[in-house]
């Protein structure tokens, strides 16, 4: 099976050495994605806005793979503080409420103090 790498253009991908997503067959593995706007390399301080931007970034990577949020089968939420999780629910429900992928939420320190959430997904193209 051929492996295809997808980039968002984020400077982090070059600096650290990873891909925004990797496509193998019909499977898409999207790296942990933060709320940075990769065009401006800015990030909101608001957890809800960061969550929405994470989802936009993930949707863009999935689109490059020929997929969409509707094909997501597994999601991992990594938050700096578990206390912030309820504030993310409206955006998460809008994105995943109908498809209801398997999900995990983890509290962990993130790479940059401005980051309050990171989201990682796995999708299967055409599974929607």
* Residues 8-65 pLDDT 10s: 887 778 899 999 999 999 999 999 999 999 888 899 999 999 999 999 999 999 999 9
Q: Where are the beta strands (DSSP E) in 9-71?
A: 21-24, 27-34
Looking at residue 119, what is its pLDDT?
A: 98
Positive or negative, the Cα torsion across 73, 79, 82, 83? negative
Distance, CA of 79 to CA of 13 (rounded, Å): 20
The structural domain count of the chain equals 1
Percentage of the chain with pLDDT > 70? 100
Distance CA 76, CA 66 (A): 21
Joined together, the tokens standing for residue 21 give: 């997503």
**Could you list the residue range(s) of the whole structural domain that residue 44 is in?**
3-124
| pLDDT score recorded for residue 128 | 87
What is the CATH classification number for the domain harbouring 18? 3.30.1330.40
Neighbours of 12 (CB within 10 A): 17
> Which helix H or strand E contains 50, and what residues bound it?
helix 47-64
């Amino acid at each position: 099976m051929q492996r295809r790498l997808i980039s968002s253009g984020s400077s982090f991908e070059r600096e650290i050495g990873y891909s925004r997503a990797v496509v193998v067959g019909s499977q898409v593995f999207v790296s942990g994605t933060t709320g940075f706007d990769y065009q401006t390399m800015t990030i909101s301080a608001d957890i809800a806005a960061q969550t929405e931007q994470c989802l936009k970034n993930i949707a863009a990577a999935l689109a490059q793979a020929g997929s969409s949020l509707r094909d997501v089968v597994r999601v991992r939420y990594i938050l700096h503080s578990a206390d912030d999780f309820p504030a993310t629910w409206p955006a998460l429900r809008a994105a995943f409420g109908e498809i209801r992928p398997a999900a995990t939420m983890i509290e962990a320190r993130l790479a940059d103090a401005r980051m309050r959430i990171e989201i990682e997904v796995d999708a299967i193209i055409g599974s929607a």
